[in-house]
Amino acid sequence: MRWMKLLLRNPVLLVVMVFMLSGPGQAGDEYGLSQLVKQLYTQPDFNLQHSAAAMSLLKRLNSGEIKLVRNAILARHQYRFKSHLLEQYFTNHFKDYKPNTQQVTLTAQDEENVSVIKTVEQDIHNYENSEAGLRAQMVGVWIPGPAIGGGAMPQNYTFKGDGTFIFDIGEGGCDIRIATSSGTWIINKNVLTLTTTHEKRYIGGKLKPVTDPVGCLSDNELAGGKWQTVQLKAADVKRYTKLRFVYEDYFGEGDFKPRFKMDKGEWWLYSKSTTNN
């Protein structure tokens, strides 16, 4: 009984004991993408349909992730991928991956698993390219690159679930008079329409040398005026056709961030959360 009293008085020790008694794969070990890829790569006899966890996970993946899962089977056979991103992932995660061929012979179990994956993969493709899927994927904060460099938030779009959007010029532009533009967005089929109705402008004031070089990327800053949100006299409507999201593991770590083309550039998902915008 003394050891029980000790555990109850020490919550940290209690958590450690629970973890130790639970055994591997039962506590603190969430089944995810990397685990599934590893099983398909290291276990030739692994049967997807005999694993409820694997089948459940497959249906929750995006198109980039399920493509990685499918290609884990080819990687086990030392397949040399045309995609440097796929080759980068397997090289980073499996020491014995030494690609040397593009001619492989799949086992019966391999072919069965590939068939199962392709069936789910087609369902994922159909959803991601449906209007409902496109709208769901669009919600979030988007930046013009796979990551933020230099610490300052770059220009970004925030698309909210209520159909409104905000374009922010980003941090550091202390000499710019228009900080944000906002309005509504809709997707019809695969056409994205942005209707800008408001702008946040700096009214009055004048430029002067920057007093805080840490917070500004420009040599000058505006001072003596005030920020004001104004409604445009005429809404600015822009349409972007052939909307499509592409999922890539840019850094070879299994983190598949979506991106899409707009304004002659590419926009990458920074966050699905839009609560702070």
Instruction: Based on the fold, state whether residues 167 and 256 are members of the same structural domain.
Output: yes
CA nearest neighbour of 206 among 177, 232, 231: 177
For residue 1, is it within any domain?
no
pLDDT tens track, the chain, 277 positions? 444 444 345 544 333 333 333 333 333 347 899 999 999 999 999 999 999 999 999 999 999 999 999 999 999 999 999 999 999 999 999 999 999 999 999 999 999 999 999 999 999 999 999 999 999 999 999 999 998 877 789 999 999 999 999 999 998 888 999 999 999 999 998 999 999 999 999 999 999 999 877 778 889 999 999 999 999 999 999 999 999 999 999 888 899 999 999 978 999 999 999 887 6
For residue 72, is it within any domain?
yes
- Domain boundary residue among 102, 128, 154? 128
Instruction: Based on the fold, state whether residues 75 and 191 are members of the same structural domain.
Output: no
For residue 8, is it within any domain?
no
- Domain boundary residue among 70, 98, 128? 128
What's the total number of domains in the chain?
A: 2
For residue 9, is it within any domain?
no
Residue range(s) defining the domain that contains residue 230: 140-271
Q: How many CA atoms lie within 13 A of 125 on its CB side?
A: 8
For residue 225, what are the β-bridge partners?
204
Instruction: Based on the fold, state whether residues 120 and 181 are members of the same structural domain.
Output: no
220's CB contacts (< 8 A; 6+ apart) are: 174, 175, 207, 208, 209, 210
Instruction: Based on the fold, state whether residues 196 and 119 are members of the same structural domain.
Output: no
Instruction: Based on the fold, state whether residues 261 and 147 are members of the same structural domain.
Output: yes
The phi, psi pair for 215, rounded to 5°, reads -90, -10
**Per the structure block, which two tokens stand in for 214?**
């840490």
Instruction: Based on the fold, state whether residues 222 and 266 are members of the same structural domain.
Output: yes
* In contact, 166 and 223? CB cutoff 8 Å: no
Instruction: Based on the fold, state whether residues 242 and 164 are members of the same structural domain.
Output: yes
Alpha-carbon separation of residue 81 from 43, 69, 76, 195 (angstroms): 20, 14, 12, 42
Instruction: Based on the fold, state whether residues 146 and 257 are members of the same structural domain.
Output: yes
Instruction: Based on the fold, state whether residues 150 and 247 are members of the same structural domain.
Output: yes
For residue 4, is it within any domain?
no
262's CB contacts (< 8 A; 6+ apart) are: 192, 240
For residue 200, is it within any domain?
yes
For residue 234, is it within any domain?
yes
For residue 96, is it within any domain?
yes
Instruction: Based on the fold, state whether residues 145 and 124 are members of the same structural domain.
Output: no
- Domain boundary residue among 72, 94, 128? 128
